[in-house]
Chains A and B, each alone.
Chain A
């Protein structure tokens, strides 16, 4: 099973060396091959499921709880300005 590794790398925003690509490309292919194998199982008559846990309607009441203190929230930020998380310029 061929994988468009360049596309996957772009989507995941990861950079891989030539060696890593040579190793991971076929491995991803094997994973997809396994999925292909699963596809052959006859699941007609089986309800599709998004979750392994048979739980529904897990909800909480609409109540405000304390947020993090501002300084605490910003603690991991490599850079900040005017209370904001500073990031490279974005325009879209």
Chain B
């Protein structure tokens, strides 16, 4: 029998706020250990946490981006467990009344748009970080109390590769929505996976096995590949799987048992008495909703439809919202948006990378790109000259038309002038002329090159070729 996997992900992302969730300590990566701490996030007795509004706003905004329902009331709960990185002996989270629920994420997978349902996205707090020495551990509480969004998916994912794409798409939405910087290197995104296998076509899920300790998307993919093979092996040999928690050992590329169902934690959730419930009113929700952005996938599809861009260009522009905005301003009403996309994706990006500048510092308005593309399209300048004009635009911010006039770069399509240059080229290179007459086609290109050179690139190359051909065949 064939067994297919069902995968659900729990993704934790640190929210982009200035201060922590319940106190004014900085939410900042890389500070010396235990310097962004205070009585509240160290779990001292007698302190009172107060919710950071921005943490709640970003949570709800994330929910809106995932098309979630925003319940009229949310509350915080204590999840009790003993572990050195949890100074209070409980983690504040949202248990049965989360801020958002029942949404979805659409993303492209294997060339099709796929939907994974999101069960909920709730707000909780990050915990401290353990450092391991030979005989003991050391805890840094700088991270404790940093707002953390947990995004729980339904078990709609059917392969490790699909899980990987889901995570990438999720990250893209969170970054573009300004919810989180999602910097993997700084541990801003972590995920746990739940995976089970069941006979193909069965409606009931198999025993759910959770894997922890996944610090990168590729680790999640590898852990799933391993774990699915392991589970399929167990059932193929007639074994039975039971609910358990496993740990991914990245170096060895295996999962190992962490705790069985019997040893599962008893978290004894109860309402957090120190934090008041949240009732997001219409006005507050509306102000949060003003932070909505167009989702990257929707934008990609729109760019392809409205501007007839190929998928790869649309993808590039949708992944970089500022560049996408710039393109849309430049291409608005333009005849050939594809040419404008080329200028922006190839030339403008290269110059920005080369000069270390950002889009905001570009000295010409987006419309100048459209004007430049128009000059090429109308034949006023050659595409080669256009490259030179572009560099000048980038350096000076001058309009392309003004640069062409000032530097005398307009393409020469005046037959008389080109005829003269052709005569000169033929006279100066009699051997090439003879070669062409003898049937060597390449010789014409050489002569054409001489004409272009003599015209300092301004001669209309097509015209030069025609005239040379006519003269040589005469």
Taking Cβ atoms with an 8 Å cutoff, the residues of A that contact B are 7, 11, 13, 50-51, 53, 55-68, 70, 73-74, 79-92
Contact = CB atoms under 8 A, between A and B. Distances in A.
Given A62-B53, A92-B258, A57 B34 contact: no
A84 B276 contact: no
B51 A86 contact: no
B404 to A, nearest CB: 51
Contacts of B423: none
Interface stretch (B17-25, B216-224, B437-445): B17-25
Interface residues of B, number: 54
Contact of A51 (B268, B273, B284): B273
Q: List the 4 closest A-B pairs by CB distance, nearest first.
A: A65-B24, A84-B138, A50-B271, A62-B54
Interface string B118-135: 000000000000111101
A87 B19 contact: no
Interface of B: 17-19, 23-26, 32-39, 42, 50-56, 73, 75, 80, 82-84, 130-133, 135-141, 247, 258, 266, 268, 271, 273, 275-281, 284
B240 to A, nearest CB: 26
Nearest to B140: A84
A65 B135 contact: no
Contact of B83 (A65, A85, A92): A92
29 contacts: A50-B75, A51-B271, A56-B277, A56-B279, A57-B280, A58-B50, A58-B275, A59-B56, A60-B24, A60-B52, A62-B17, A63-B18, A65-B25, A67-B25, A67-B26, A70-B34, A73-B35, A81-B133, A82-B33, A82-B138, A83-B34, A84-B131, A86-B137, A86-B138, A87-B136, A87-B138, A89-B137, A90-B83, A90-B132
Nearest to B266: A11
Given A50-B75, A83-B32, A90-B130, A60 B51 contact: yes
B140 A83 contact: yes
Nearest to A69: B35
Contacts of B42: 68, 73
Contacts of A60: 24, 50-53
Nearest to A70: B35
A42 B37 CA distance: 46
Nearest to B268: A11
Given A59-B53, A67-B38, A70-B34, A89 B83 contact: no
B276 to A, nearest CB: 4
